[in-house]
Structure 1
């Protein structure tokens, strides 16, 4: 069942993802989420951060996991279905996951996501979301999502853009962190990076994965 969004046509947004994502491998959806949900997610993130739930993010996983401030500088907290705003967002992403499976037989078994807070000057160096080394019992990331939770009217000179580096493109694809914008892209072959901003930058990063052991 597709969740209802007041004033927003979520089924139409899903159809746009299905139409555009296969080629070139990414789709940017401005105002994908209504302002009230963006505000609720932002408030929930800020409240969890004030409660000390967010922690410094790392790179790699398992034995290779490490915190390296020279590579990424955000604080994160994994979304929990018991958090009211997060539960609404997770339901939307699950409906998108199911639609992608029906259309493309991707075998997407789960969706995971975390709140992310970048303080002024925080960045994330160029990387690919799918971990190297093949399956490790945890499934593989197939589809990545980023949803921005900034206050309305992110200034053009504030920085903080996400840059996609598609193969064969001379210039990167720039995505401004405007609140309510949703970015959906392939996890395996799209290097990307987060540029430093001159103000706090809030978002949700998520991944649709295949089944693990």
Structure 2
């Protein structure tokens, strides 16, 4: 199925994402965000990182939350999309709101909330194969990851590996975490992992949620 722009489509950049989600459940868009905004988000992420605002990322939630560096060794800094701290956050979250509305019009997923965090992977860190939904919860429905790394090369590692089968053992696509690249995928059944990198790796990760 190929979508055509309508008066309701606020941003034509969303059309390829919607087509991909309909046809294959995932989408990767290089140069989705302009270089100036991506650079400002990267600078903000770095300032927060150097200022000690990040914490070790955990596995699980609530009383089951555990720090397990053998599974996940990145650091995160949560943001509040409803109260953007900076103009670049405001611009990015506005685009994500457009995406939420477009997905709801097209795929009828009932997305109502977006949560997001900066993630930093120091050299050598990783995130083993996993699903973004918590056990027993179906609220996280769509994942969106914006990469913030300038001049990233294949040999730097740190690729997002998206598995194309529900078992997470078959064919896969590796996404280079280049600045401005956006990866979006349906959360249910989409196994993925972050491969180790040889240099510091930064991203802005978000989850669109449905009502629990």
TM over 0.5: yes
2:132 is the alignment partner of 1:129: yes
Partner of 1:203: 203
Distance 1:10 1:134 in 2: 31
- Counterparts of 1:70 and 1:87 in 2: how far apart (Å)? 35
2:118 match: 115
**Aligned residue in 1 for 2:26:** 26
Q: What's the TM-score once normalised by structure 1's chain length? A: 0.89
- Alignment RMSD: 1.6
Residue 70 of structure 2 aligns to a residue whose secondary structure is coil
Contact 1:75–1:118 (8 Å) recurs in 2: yes
Contact in 1 for aligned 2:32/2:181 (Cα 8 Å):
yes
C-alpha distance in 2 between matches for 1:38 and 1:134 = 32
Partner residue in 2 for 1:70: 70
For residues 33-72 of structure 1, the aligned pairs below 5 Å read 33-72=33-72
In structure 1, list runs of 5 or more residues that go unmatched: 1-8
Q: 1:163 aligns with which of 161, 164, 169?
A: 161
Runs of 4+ residues over 4 Å off in structure 1: none
Shift of 1:19: 1.1
**Where does residue 147 of structure 1 map in the other structure?**
146
Which residue pairs with 1:103 in the alignment? 106
Q: Secondary structure at the match of 2:12?
A: helix
- Residues 183-194 of structure 1: matches in 2 within 5 Å? 183-194=183-194
Deviations 1:50-102 (A, max 9, x none): 22111111011111111110111111111233311222211111110011111
